[in-house]
Each structure stands twice: as C-alpha cells, then as structure tokens.
Amino acid sequence: MIVGICGSPRNGATEYVLKDALATLELNGLHTSFFTVRGKQLGFCRHCDHCLKHKECIINDDMKILYGLLKQAKGIIIATPVYNGGVSAQTKTLLDRCRALLAADPNVLKYKIGMAIAVGGDRLGGQEPAIQQIHTFFILNGVIPVSGGPFGANLGANFWSKDTLQGVKDDKEGFRSLKKTVKRFAEALNRIEIKTKEVKKDD
C-alpha cells in the first residue's frame, strides 16, 4: 500500500495533484490510501517525552489514523502547500508527531520509499526548500527519498498554482515533474520489493 499525505487544510491544489499521483499509481496496479489534514484533529508535539517512556503518543487525536497507515505503507508520498518558503504548519505537525511512532519502533519507516510534492502560489515560492524538508525527514528516519531526476524534476514534483485550482491544473511543467517523480517512485518500489524477496530467499 502507498500512503498519500496531504498537508493542505483545504480541498485545493495540493490535494488535486496528490490525487493525480495516486490515480497514476492505482492504474499501475498499486493500492493507495489518501490521508489529509483537512478537517482532522491534529495537535502539536508537546515534547512531553511520554512516547519515549510509554511507546505511544499522549495525544489522542487523528494522528492514530496516520500512524496505522504509515506502519502498513511500503511507499509514502507527502504533498505540502508552500507556506512562508517551506512546508505548511500542518505538514510539519505530522512530521513532528511521528516521533511517537519512531519511539515505539525506530525501524518502522526503514527502507520504505518516499517522494515529495510541493505546491506554491509563486513560481519560485520555496517549493524546493519545502521538498528538502520532507526529504530530510525521510533521510532521518530511514525512508529512501526519490526525485524525478534531472531535466525536469530535480528534487521532486513541484507546482506553481498561482493561488488557484485552475492555476495548478494549467501547470504543464508541474505535471511533467510529477510524472517523472511518480515513475521513479514506482521503479524504486519495484526494486526494493525484488531485493526484499532475494534477501528472504537467501535466509
């Protein structure tokens, strides 16, 4: 299963392009799940360290749904709108709250494949720093980040929405970067599956 996580508080451009990516993966035979922060109860990490002692988060909210999805997923897509040149506060909250998941099992995200999507209202509004923040989260926690590669999708999928849904729909370059990134994401998922099977056979 692939989990697509949307860090926008509304049904806007970020949700639209993430759903496009998930639909492409479904067409290629992969099962996907969609999680959005929209309408969810999600508290900030309080750094109370309850999770370090008790291996679960003290906050009882909708992160529980995401914890379950992240455990199951073999691939993770995080899509964020660009807020002040970085990820949205909602996206950052999700990343921080994963501390509890990792406190319970530091290997829980290891060798999953990750990709990032950033949607900014401006052409150069901070999409790449936002993607890099997501990639840093991946690297920190053992997720293997992929991009779409050079010549079109250097760090991942990035969009220029001009602050409207129509703007993102018209962003041909953005969709090119998404297509390239999704392709490499699917390839990486395939490779890791073959490798895992080989290791199991050797055991």
Which chain residues interact with ligand FMN by CB under 6 A?
8, 10, 12-15, 81-85, 119-122, 125-126, 161, 163
Which residue, 166 or 190, has its beta carbon nearer to ligand FMN? 166
Q: What's the min distance (Å) between Cβ of 45 and ligand FMN?
A: 20
Distance (Å, whole) CA 113 – CA 73: 9
Which residue, 173 or 193, has its beta carbon nearer to ligand FMN? 173
Q: Which residues pair with 71 in a beta bridge?
A: none
Determine the residue with CB nearest ligand FMN: 125
Q: What's the min distance (Å) between Cβ of 101 and ligand FMN?
A: 25
Which residue, 12 or 145, has its beta carbon nearer to ligand FMN? 12
**Across the chain, where does the E strand assignment appear?**
2-6, 32-36, 75-81, 113-120, 144-145, 157-160
Which residue, 122 or 170, has its beta carbon nearer to ligand FMN? 122
Q: What's the min distance (Å) between Cβ of 102 and ligand FMN?
A: 27
Task: Give CA separation, 124 vs 17, 24, 80, 128, 160, in Å.
Answer: 18, 26, 15, 9, 8
Distance (Å, whole) CA 202 – CA 165: 50
